[in-house]
């Protein structure tokens, strides 16, 4: 049971490049979500999904896309990277939003 896994661990992008951050879980959780963490702040919700085929926006969705084609995977796409998207990105999963959420190890992204 690997829990929540994220790849890559680190990434450097140039402004304007696109990329996909991968997130997978093997706990059969319906609820998955993406957060970003900036220095001195708590985590902020980007997008979330309550099940395959269903996604919704969080607090800071601009510049990011998501899709949920399977229960296990929830990739986050940066369409055209900007320096303001330099952050640490965390993926989380749970059976539902009102139950314990489990976090992946994070992806550190630097946009130059």
Partner 1 sequence: GIQVEQSPPDLILQEGANSTLRCNFSDSVNNLQWFHQNPWGQLINLFYIPSGTKQNGRLSATTVATERYSLLYISSSQTTDSGVYFCAVVFDRGSTLGRLYFGRGTQLTVWP
47-86 positions binding partner 1, by CB under 8 A? 48, 50, 56, 58-59
Q: Any contact of residue 2 with partner 1 (CB under 8 A)?
A: no
Question: In 8-86, at which residue ranges do the beta strands (DSSP E only) sit?
Answer: 10-13, 19-25, 31-37, 43-51, 54-57, 64-66, 76-78
State yes or no: residue 39 binds partner 1 (CB under 8 A): no
Tell the residue number behind the tokens 């708590």, with chain if given.
42
CB of 88 to partner 1, least distance (A): 7
Separation of alpha carbons 83 and 69, rounded Å = 29
Provide the binding-site residues for partner 1, judged by CB under 8 A.
Answer: 31, 33, 35, 40-45, 48, 50, 56, 58-59, 88, 90, 92, 97-103, 105-106, 108
């Amino acid at each position: 049971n690997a829990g929540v896994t994220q790849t890559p661990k680190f990434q450097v992008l140039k402004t304007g490049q696109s990329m996909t951050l991968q997130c997978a879980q093997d706990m059969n959780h319906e609820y998955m979500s993406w957060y970003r963490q900036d220095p001195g702040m708590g985590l902020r919700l980007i997008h979330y999904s309550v099940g395959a085929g269903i996604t919704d926006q969080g607090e800071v969705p601009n510049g990011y896309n998501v899709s949920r084609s399977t229960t296990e995977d929830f990739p986050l796409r940066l369409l055209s990277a900007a320096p303001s998207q330099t952050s640490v990105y965390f993926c989380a999963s749970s059976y539902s939003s009102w139950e314990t959420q489990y976090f992946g190890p994070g992806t550190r992204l630097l946009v130059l």
